[in-house]
Amino acid sequence: MGIKVVERHGNTFKEKIYLHAVFSGMKTTLKHFTANLRDASNLPTLCYPEQKPTDITPRYRGVHRLTHRKEDDSIACVACFMCATACPANCIEIVAADREDGRDEKMPQVFNIDLLECVFCGYCVEACPCDAIRMDSGIYSVIGECREDFIYNKAKLLSIQGISKEEFSLAK
């Protein structure tokens, strides 16, 4: 491995008194200050929550949702536990059961995501072989009054709409 010798800065008199660096920093701040004072419409800051972000795309990792099958609008999840296995926060609780409608053999009886534990990493979406769990809801804010409000169950996850073009599961 090669070694790159880097010149050591900060030893000159000009650098040691810091004044030059302070004033050059203040120059930038002052430039922005006067520009923003003249025209406030260009400010990138949002007055959240009165103002809402407009740049949430389907690729934004929002709150999870469970997708439906195109054929009969039933749940796409087959309770394979891949998401629960991949989850680094261990926040997905699944109880599998026999499926009675003849579509497949297996489905989740319980599917809970604890959003307080979730780190929104998206591994569950990556792991899902059935495109049954997605984070394309665009929901960036979850509000509740108690801890239980943040445990989203199967019915709640199924009811969330996505903002991407594909509404249903793409699994074959």
Partner 1 sequence: MRITIDDISIECEEGELLIDVMLNNNINIPHFCYHQDLGADGNCRMCMVEIKGAKRPQIACDTFVKENLEVITKSENINEVKRSILELELLNHPVDCPICDQAGECKLQDYYMDYGLYESHLTTPKTKKGKAIELGSNVMLDQERCVLCTRCTRFTSEITKTGELGIIGRGDSARVGVAPGHELNNPYAMNVVELCPVGALTSKDFRFKQRVWFLDTSKSICHGCSRGCNISIDYNETKYTREKIHRFRARRNARINQSFLCDYGRLSYKELNNSFKGTSSSIEDLKELLKEDKKLALASPSLSLEQLQAIQTLCQTHNIKLFCLAYYDESFGDGWLKTNDKSANLASVKKLGICTCQEEFDAALQEAELILNFDHTLLKHQEFGNKKSVQFTSTHLPPACGYCFGFANFAHDTGTLINCEGITQKFYATRFRDKNPSLSELLEQLR
What residue spans of the chain are helical by DSSP H?
13-16, 19-38, 82-86, 123-127, 154-159
Q: Which of residues 72-91 bind partner 1 (CB under 8 A)?
A: 78-82, 85, 90
**Binding status of residue 163 toward partner 1 by CB under 8 A:** no
Q: Which of residues 100-129 bind partner 1 (CB under 8 A)?
A: 104-106, 112, 129
Pairing between β-strand 92-98 and β-strand 65-66 as defined by DSSP bridges: unpaired
**Residues linked to residue 151 through DSSP beta bridges, in sequence order:** 114
| C-alpha–C-alpha distance, residues 83 and 90, integer Å | 9
Q: Site for partner 1 (CB under 8 A): which residue of 97, 116, 142, 170?
A: 97
**Binding status of residue 98 toward partner 1 by CB under 8 A:** yes
Q: Give the phi and the psi of residue 123 in degrees, each rounded to 5.
A: -65, -35
Cβ proximity to partner 1: between 128 and 135 the closer is: 128
Tokens 């780190």, located at residue: 119
Binding mask 11-30 for partner 1 (x = CB under 8 A): --------------------
Interacting residues with partner 1 (CB under 8 A): 78-82, 85, 90, 93, 96-98, 104-106, 112, 129-130
